[in-house]
Amino acid sequence: MRRRRLTIGRVALAATLGLLPLATGAADYSIHSEVDATQIGVEDQVQLTISLEGEGPDSIAMPTLTNLTVAGGPYQSTQVSIVNGRMTQTRSWTYVLRPQAEGAAEIGPVTAGEETAAAIRIEIVAGSVRPPEPARRADPFGADPFESFFGRRRGRRADPKLLVEAVPSRTKVRVGEPLLLTYYLYTQVAVSNLNFTEAPQFAGFWAEDLEQARNPPSGEAATAGGETYRRFPVMRKLLFPTRAGTLEIPPATLRIALAAQGFFDEGQMVERSTRPVTVSVAPLPDVAGFSGAVGRFQARTSLDKEAVALGEAALLRFRVEGTGNLKWIDRPPSIEVAGAKLYPPQVKSDLKVTAGGIRGSRTWEFVLVPETGGSIEVPAVDFMFFDPEADEVMTARTDPLTLRVEGGTMAAGPSLPVAPSLGDGDALPLRADIDPGVLSVPALSGRAMALLAVLVLLGHAALWGGDLLRGAFRRVGGHTTPVRSVRAALRDIERAGKAGMTKEQAAALLDKGLHEAFGEITDDGSEKARAIHTLLSEVHFVRYAPQLGDYSETLGDLARRAAETVRRWA
């Protein structure tokens, strides 16, 4: 029977907290698959352990099982060893398997990247073949017979020389200014595993994990208390204070497993704790327009094109790059462009956490829609930040930009001509002519009688036509809208909600349909005006936004809401 290996319980911090800066690039690794028995009874269980030594995939797929089922697991563990000044890592996944029936069983091959562990065959017999656990017998001699020979009991050793320490890169910073906190292990003995008993606490700080190094650290010589040690960094955190005052990082405790030394040595588990770390944090200057960016930055603006046609859109980008607390910069800059409308921006980030801070860039992309022809000036934009080296608030200013707009002089939405209304108090033509002023009727010739009959018929026609005109228009919000325009609007809106056209074409149809139904809507604060203006704003945003994905669902929702609005108020 093969030796049984199982490490269950607390998963080492290397797996759960990024304990060690391990390799992320291509590195040597190997994978092994083993069981604690190749012959078991149908009433027994078998333990499968898959081990990955070195750097490899973060997870391992469960192999194919034949005549076996999973009864427990996976139980994951990580073993970190420091021997002869080198650090190695082994990750293990352990499963408990239960046989289904007597006969042959198999655990399929296990693959990790380009490495594969061979399949394992198991024989399943009747009953149980596992021997019972032997009872621990009392020592007949009453003492360890090897104690007098070795001078100490087996497994005992002198208190190992181990230290752990939390070292900040600085103890005086400003709010938002980063400091690097490194947890070190000092050791004179071989260590087989270590993990924090609980995650370190950083109250009052915003913490970032540093990117992992390509190669495990080999350690360095260090002196502490007059003793010489080998020092290893076990965890690094980039901390940004979020408030001023005196902040304390509480002690952290590591549980350290010592490697066995000799035949009778079973190894040892010890705990060591760091001392608390105190950091003095000064507030940032109170300067108007300063939003809390700390570091060294540059800013610039750009347009994706130099000229557009009236009614088309350009993309205005505002980019901040440098090193500092870039993730704190979440509010877009305040930009106003005369003669154009700016829609709320989308934010893109390209950031990397380094020991000196967060390095990279953040970009805000605004959709800019000209409302007039000619040249549109995008003004210079100021970005304020606190420079810790200069100890003052600095300003990065962008260059002004010019966008040439080709076409008419004013961008106006389609307007709906309003037909004259026929109110109830309006005087119809010919009414005064056919109403007799007095009872006396003068004598008329035959031609005059014929003319009078024609006038009477015209009067009736006018009355009948007026009734038709009243039915042909509906009064909505202070203006009249032809019923045929409402129907045309609904047809356009229905077409916009269907697939088969670009987002620009669909949005233009929605815009046209809303103007057909409502004409030019003044913002009088009414519920109807707010609903229509909200719809138009969303339609315009989709129409001029860059093509960043599929807008069909958004356009379908806008078409549905537009149709409901027209039916309700038009």
Range with the poorest average pLDDT among 133-147, 390-404, 532-546: 133-147
DSSP per-residue letters across 6-55: ---SSPPHHHHT--S----SS--EEEEEEES-SEEETT--EEEEEEEEES
- Tell me the per-residue pLDDT of 434-464, one tens digit each, with 9 for 90 and over: 333 333 444 445 555 555 554 545 554 444 4
pTM score: 0.53
8 A C-beta contact, residue 542 and residue 554 = yes
Domains of the chain, by residue range, sit at 13-125, 162-282, 295-410, 423-434+452-570
29 pairs with which residues across the strands?
54
In this prediction, what percent of the chain has a pLDDT beyond 70?
69
Q: Which amino acid is at 339?
A: G
DSSP per-residue letters across 322-359: EEE-GGG--SPP----TTEEEPPPEEEEEEEEETTEEE
Question: Cis peptide leading into 74, omega within 30 of 0?
Answer: yes
Q: Which amino acid is at 371?
A: E
Choice between 157 and 347, residue whose per-residue pLDDT is larger: 347
Rounded to 5 degrees, φ, ψ at 254 are -110, 140
CA distance 517 to 514: 5
- Tell me the per-residue pLDDT of 59-110, one tens digit each, with 9 for 90 and over: 788 899 999 998 877 777 666 665 555 566 777 888 889 899 999 999 999 8
The label of the residue with tokens 């070795």 reads: 150
pLDDT number for residue 225: 84
What is the fold of 295-410? Immunoglobulin-like (2.60.40)
**Residues in Cβ contact with 545 at an 8 Å cutoff, skipping those fewer than 6 apart:** 313, 343, 367, 503
pLDDT number for residue 1: 38
Domains 162-282 and 295-410 share a fold: yes
CATH 2.60.40 fits 13-125, yes or no: yes
Q: Is the pLDDT of residue 499 over 60?
A: yes
Q: Is the pLDDT of residue 330 over 90?
A: no
CATH 3.40.50 fits 162-282, yes or no: no
Structure tokens at 315: 């993309």
